[in-house]
Amino acid sequence: MTELDEEAAALQRRFGRPGAVDFAVSPLGGVVIHLTAGGATATVALQGAQVLSWIPQAGAPDALWCSPLSKLGTGKPVRGGIPICWPWFGLHPFVPASQPAHGLVRAAPWSVESTGTGETGSWAVFNMSLTPQQQAFAGMLTAALRVTLAEKLTLELVSHNAGSAPVAISEALHTYFAIGDIGRVRVEGLEGRTYLDQLTKMEAEQRGPITFDRETDRIYWDTGGALPAIKDDGLARSIALSASGSKSTVVWNPWSEKAARLGDIPEEGYRQMLCVETANVGPRNAVTVSAGKSHTLSCSLTATKI
Ligand code: BG6
């Protein structure tokens, strides 16, 4: 028995609910939880509390894309599923050169706090605290992520400020959706919203649905209340996102050149993935968490055939 087998077995004894919440060693090389509810399944890695797979109905294809080139336990985040960007999105606002992009918790180990199963689905709660060294510049923050699998997949990310001064955070549930082909998808629901094009640094207003024929990297501001949907003609599937505690939506596809530079997306792999991220991006949509208070960012995903 390897150390990972032992860890999975110990977690299964403590938190497992056979057939609904099951711990296992992933072929990617780390411990994961398999959630099952009705015909749906989801897999969540303890590394990064990262959802790696979501099969919304028995026999359906995975609704999340995950790079076959990624592994757990390498110190790098897995490229795919739903990485948690926290407590900042993109570059650190003050010390970008010395800190990793997208925060501190994507490749960090999270702890399992609790699990359950019942009429509302199967769920697991993970938590993590910043180290004292990280707290020195990022604030006395802790994070908890609840993943609930039912007819929908729901993620709730709670940021708690245990310190005595307010802390500004930015964050994202950086979802990589699996799609038939990038040339045959459109994102609806963001019409009329203002976005920052991260490639040109210009702002513009979204006209009509978003379609893709090149690298796309946009932060849509003030999207609270928007209901983005990914209409995928290739897979005859629509995925609807509903969010709360979210003011921004990020839409990203690296296209061929950037995908090659990133090094963990297979050739042509960019055609099968699209990120639509439920977020709060600074400076405009950063969230200030008062001392002793919490903020919750959540998103629910629903997949239907079209
Ligand atoms: C997106 C950003 O959210 O994440 C992009 O808008 C970035 O600019 C992408 O390239 C991937 O980031 P990373 O750190 O996972 O390579």
CB within 8 Å of 10: residues ≥ 6 apart: none
Give the pLDDT confidence of 79-119 residue by residue, as tens digits. Answer: 999 999 999 999 998 888 889 999 999 999 999 999 999 99
DSSP 115: E
The span from the CA of 215 to the CA of 228, in Å, is: 20
Instruction: State whether the beta carbon of 218 lies less than 6 angstroms from ligand 1.
Output: no
| pLDDT at residue 197, rounded to an integer | 98
- Tokens 């995950």 label which residue? 66
Instruction: State whether the beta carbon of 252 lies less than 6 angstroms from ligand 1.
Output: yes
For residues 297 and 246, the answer to whether their CB atoms sit within 8 Å is: yes
| pLDDT at residue 225, rounded to an integer | 93
| pLDDT at residue 95, rounded to an integer | 81
For residues 108 and 30, the answer to whether their CB atoms sit within 8 Å is: no
Q: How far is the CA of 10 from the centre of ligand 1 (A)?
A: 35
| pLDDT at residue 136, rounded to an integer | 87
CA of 100, closest atom in ligand 1: 14
Whether 277 is a known active-site residue: answer: yes
The tokens for 188 are 């609806």
Instruction: State whether the beta carbon of 250 lies less than 6 angstroms from ligand 1.
Output: yes
Kindly name the residue from 92, 102, 277, 295 that is annotated as catalytic.
277
For residues 168 and 56, the answer to whether their CB atoms sit within 8 Å is: no
CB within 8 Å of 270: residues ≥ 6 apart: 182, 253, 254, 255, 256, 258, 259
Instruction: State whether the beta carbon of 101 lies less than 6 angstroms from ligand 1.
Output: yes
| pLDDT at residue 93, rounded to an integer | 86
The span from the CA of 200 to the CA of 232, in Å, is: 27
Instruction: State whether the beta carbon of 106 lies less than 6 angstroms from ligand 1.
Output: no
Kindly name the residue from 34, 102, 174, 295 that is annotated as catalytic.
174
- Running along the chain, 306 residues long, what does each successive block of 10 average in pLDDT? 97 98 97 97 98 97 98 97 98 88 97 97 96 91 98 98 96 98 98 98 98 98 96 97 98 98 97 98 97 98 96
| pLDDT at residue 139, rounded to an integer | 92
Q: How far is the CA of 5 from the centre of ligand 1 (A)?
A: 33
Q: HSE of 135 in the Cβ direction (CA atoms, 13 Å)?
A: 15
The tokens for 134 are 């990280």
| pLDDT at residue 96, rounded to an integer | 82
| pLDDT at residue 174, rounded to an integer | 98
Instruction: State whether the beta carbon of 174 lies less than 6 angstroms from ligand 1.
Output: yes
Q: HSE of 220 in the Cβ direction (CA atoms, 13 Å)?
A: 27
CA of 217, closest atom in ligand 1: 6
| pLDDT at residue 97, rounded to an integer | 86
Pocket test for ligand 1, best of 102, 210, 274, 275 (most atoms within 8 A of CB): 102
| pLDDT at residue 143, rounded to an integer | 98
